[in-house]
Amino acid sequence: MATGIKDKVAIIGMGCTRFGERWDCGVEELVVEAFSEALSDANIDRQAIEMAWLGLFFQEQSAGKSALPLSMALRLPNIPVTRVENMCATGTEALRGAVYAVAAGACDVALALGVEKLKDTGYGGLPERSKGTFDDLWLPNATAPGAFAQLASAYSARHKCNPADLKRAMAHISVKSHANGALNPKAHLRRPITEDQAINAPMIAAPLGLYDCCGVSDGAACAIVTSVEKAREMGIKDMVTVKALQLAPSNGLEMSNNAWDGSYLLTTRIAAERAYKEAGIKNPRRELDMTEVHDCFSVTELVVMEDLGLAEEGGAIEAVLDGRFDRDGEVPCQIDGGLKCFGHPIGASGLRMAYELYLQLLGRAGDRQLSSPSLGLTHNLGGHPFRNVASVSVLGLHA
């Protein structure tokens, strides 16, 4: 009988670059910057790393295919490197590969690194791409904001809420994330904004305005993992372990069938349920100390609070406006500034979220430090609400 991943693997080192318009560097420099921090944090010899996973999404625009961008940038000693891609869940997917390899006993120490270099494309959003030769014949040429904006219209219709209240809650989410990002030297956007600014910003895809959308940036983040036994042998006392790693991709139901009403994220609910089971979490709102969720758009974060069980169904607007997810709230969300302030270098984002939980758990988050958190959650949603890949991970201090 499988027992899941809980408390089998420890994260012993993490690194994260400054995210932003990194005109100063390319993929190689980003990889080395994140890796160097993680290696000195782990305090191990680089030769101890036996396997690696590379998360990279836009290979055409950023670093090229295969293991090579990582293996060559780090001059790894020909160890196995696997490149993974699972849309916005790519970074978390890289971590899953490394964690599972250690748990399986295939190696003692593994590396997961996610990187994306997007600003060289010269485009503000994510580069456009074909969805496949058949889909291009009939699907609308939707943008990411347009696909996620529809969550707002369906949510308002389902819960019969006033769209103005929803817009104000969305503004609160962005104001909160900017306030958090302003405290983070590694964030891309570090300026606080006001609710008025958010509400009155130019429309991108109704009802999402400019400040309802996260940016796109360059960045890399990485983790070095080993078994709990090995970490103990290394003398690590405050140990961050993986409590759950779950993944749920769509199977087409949302896009082809009326069983889904468009107001929530089906796969997030499934991934969260599995993750809570794997981690032994019964009451997420009470047990989780913090979350880093996929706030590609403000409205995504709002519905995800319900999908993760941190707000009652139909109650997210009130919970958000009450400050439940603010830095001083009951379950702080995006303590590092989130995608909103870090931007979204796809391959790096999942590991960037894990990096913040890791710092918070070890009491190393500086001005953003929460008071003694012991359990946190990361969430990614790759694709669009009607067809996507959701990942949920839970990290915590080892008891």
Partner 1 sequence: RTALSAFYRKRRDITSMLGGRCRECNTLQFPRSLLCVKCSASDTQEPESLSQLTGRVKSFTEDWLAYTPSPPYIYGNVEFPDGANVMLEFTDFRPGELSVGDSVRLAFRVKDFDTKRHFHRYFWKPAPLHAPSED
204 binds partner 1, rule: CB under 8 A: yes
CA distances from 381 to 148, 266, 295, 354 (A): 11, 11, 9, 15
CA distance 244 to 375: 11
Nearest Cα neighbor of 246 from 224, 222, 270, 219 is: 270
3-state secondary structure 57-97: CCCCCCCCCCCHHHHHHCCCCCCCEEEECECECHHHHHHHH
Listed ranges 34-42, 106-114, 256-264, 307-315: which one lies at the site for partner 1 (CB under 8 A): 256-264
CA distance 380 to 392: 7
Size of the site for partner 1 (CB under 8 A): 42
Among 1, 24, 104, 130, binds partner 1 (CB under 8 A): 130
Bridge partners, residue 387, by sequence: 384
121 binds partner 1, rule: CB under 8 A: no
Residues serving a catalytic function are 88, 344
CA distance 261 to 294: 20
201 binds partner 1, rule: CB under 8 A: no
160 binds partner 1, rule: CB under 8 A: no
142 binds partner 1, rule: CB under 8 A: yes
Nearer to partner 1, 136 or 196 (CB): 136
CA distance 272 to 270: 5
106 binds partner 1, rule: CB under 8 A: no
CA distance 275 to 98: 18
Residue 111 · residue 67 · CB < 8 Å: no
61 binds partner 1, rule: CB under 8 A: no
136 binds partner 1, rule: CB under 8 A: yes
Listed ranges 231-239, 255-263, 322-330, 372-380: which one lies at the site for partner 1 (CB under 8 A): 255-263
179 binds partner 1, rule: CB under 8 A: no
**φ/ψ (deg, to 5) at 279:** -85, -10
Least Å distance between CB 186 and partner 1? 27
141 binds partner 1, rule: CB under 8 A: yes
149 binds partner 1, rule: CB under 8 A: yes
Nearest Cα neighbor of 146 from 171, 168, 170, 125 is: 125
Among 76, 103, 151, 240, binds partner 1 (CB under 8 A): 151
Residues that bind partner 1 (CB under 8 A): 125, 130, 133-134, 136-143, 145-147, 149-151, 153-154, 156-157, 202-206, 208, 251-263, 386
